[in-house]
Amino acid sequence: MRDPTIIDVAKLAGVSKATAARVLNGQEDIVRETTRQRVLVAAEQLGYVRNAIAGSLRTNQTYVVALSIPDITNPFWPEVARGVQDTMETGGYTTVIVNSDWKRDRESRFLTLVRRSRFDGLIINVVETSADDLTNLRIPVVILGRDENYPAHDSVGSNTAGGSDAALQYLFELGHRRIGLISGMSHRYSTRVERYKAFLSQYQLPFDPALMMESDFTDEAGYHAMQRLLDQPHPPTAVLAANDTIAIGALKAAQAMSWRVPQDISIIGMDDIYAAATTSPGLTTVAKPKYDIGMVAAQILMERMSGEAQDEPQRVKLPCELIVRGSTAPPGQRD
């Protein structure tokens, strides 16, 4: 049994194919209400579903956009994705979400899919794709996060530098002078490293490479990085982690090694994921506006796709906020 066509809908409604097409394509302002209702009822009775692929060949629009994120298991990203999806739906767009898993080849295959499927736009937290490769997609692209290498594209992120400064300043005001950093993968996320070194220079504190650890953005990686920090002859009195997932792993490691938090060691994370408020003690962290990042990125993408955006790329950095909980305190004396 074949699927019903727009011709079948037109016959049942008693209208021309062109009129049926106007109604089903949303051009309802030039069709009488009684006629519109007949067409919609006929389409429902027949179970007609618009052929989006055929429509895209005529209009050069699929009303599908892509969102590429690096790690769908990281609790930071679902809120960003929800902000994108909720906002894109207001414009009639469907969002396809793909996880690159921090792998260049997966990201490359995904971008090939975007091109072949004629997606209308892309929002991406880039792993290693070049600016030229994004430009060659020939669709609007919005970058999530740092934008230095993508001057021709719009970007939306949070003020990570300001958030890092606020966290380090807070630890300094508590009295900490030997502060460790678990930085994440520095080849892509060097803002924390830059701010960490600038902070030490500002207060004339010595830079000790042994206090700076790189890790994946996972709790397991945070656990092992914290073990290495606390095993040193002169361990830090406080640690700033690149995200909350790392910080939670660091908290578990400290407790497993019989270090009291915050009496023996203070820990600060970044992102303010839900789990940060449920740890014991609660995790002091730098809150990022996750949903708003997705929402603003989607708004900019829709403006760019509609031709309403300004010529110059937009650079949006949303503010962060320090959330103080129980994992930080003035430095104590380790027994």
Average pLDDT, the chain: 89
Statement to judge: residues 154 and 294 lie in one domain: yes
Q: Which three-class secondary structure state does DSSP give residue 218?
A: coil
Domain at 248, CATH number: 3.40.50.2300
- Cα 260 from chain centroid (whole Å): 33
Highest mean pLDDT among 13-17, 193-197, 252-256, 305-309 belongs to: 252-256
Q: Could you give phi then psi for residue 6, rounded to 5 degrees?
A: -65, -25
Q: Which of 16-20, 94-98, 169-173, 207-211 is the least confident region?
A: 16-20
Statement to judge: residues 249 and 142 lie in one domain: no
Q: Return the bridge partners of 318, or none.
A: 158
Give the global pTM: 0.80
Beta carbons within 8 Å of 156's beta carbon, 6+ residues apart = 142, 143, 144, 293, 296, 297, 300, 314, 316, 318
Per the structure, the count of domains in the chain is 3
How far from 214 is each of 9, 41, 139, 221, 312, CA to CA, in Å?
61, 61, 35, 9, 36
Q: Could you give phi then psi for residue 81, rounded to 5 degrees?
A: -60, -40
Task: Classify residue 332: in a domain, yes or no.
Answer: no
Statement to judge: residues 201 and 312 lie in one domain: no
Statement to judge: residues 154 and 167 lie in one domain: no
How far from 277 is each of 93, 163, 282, 284, 327, CA to CA, in Å?
34, 18, 5, 8, 10
Statement to judge: residues 215 and 235 lie in one domain: yes
79 in Cβ contact with 294 (< 8 Å): yes
Range(s) of the domain holding residue 144: 60-158+290-317
Beta carbons within 8 Å of 61's beta carbon, 6+ residues apart = 55, 120
Q: Which of 19-33, 163-177, 204-218 is the least confident region?
A: 19-33
Statement to judge: residues 312 and 278 lie in one domain: no
Give the separation between CA 6 and CA 1, rounded to whole angstroms. Answer: 16
**pLDDT band with cut points at 50, 70 and 90 for residue 36:** confident
Task: Classify residue 221: in a domain, yes or no.
Answer: yes
How many percent of the chain have pLDDT more than 70?
Answer: 92
Statement to judge: residues 131 and 222 lie in one domain: no
Statement to judge: residues 22 and 126 lie in one domain: no
- Matching residue, tokens 């839900």: 274
Statement to judge: residues 268 and 295 lie in one domain: no
Cis-peptide into 262, omega within 30 deg: yes
Task: Classify residue 324: in a domain, yes or no.
Answer: no
Residue 54 pLDDT > 70: no
Q: According to the model, what pLDDT value does residue 57 have?
A: 43
**pLDDT band with cut points at 50, 70 and 90 for residue 145:** confident
Tell me the pLDDT tens digit for each residue of 254-313. Answer: 999 999 999 999 999 999 999 999 999 999 999 999 999 999 999 999 999 988 877 899
Statement to judge: residues 234 and 261 lie in one domain: yes
Beta carbons within 8 Å of 129's beta carbon, 6+ residues apart = 104, 107, 108, 111
Task: Classify residue 331: in a domain, yes or no.
Answer: no
How many percent of the chain have pLDDT more than 90?
Answer: 63
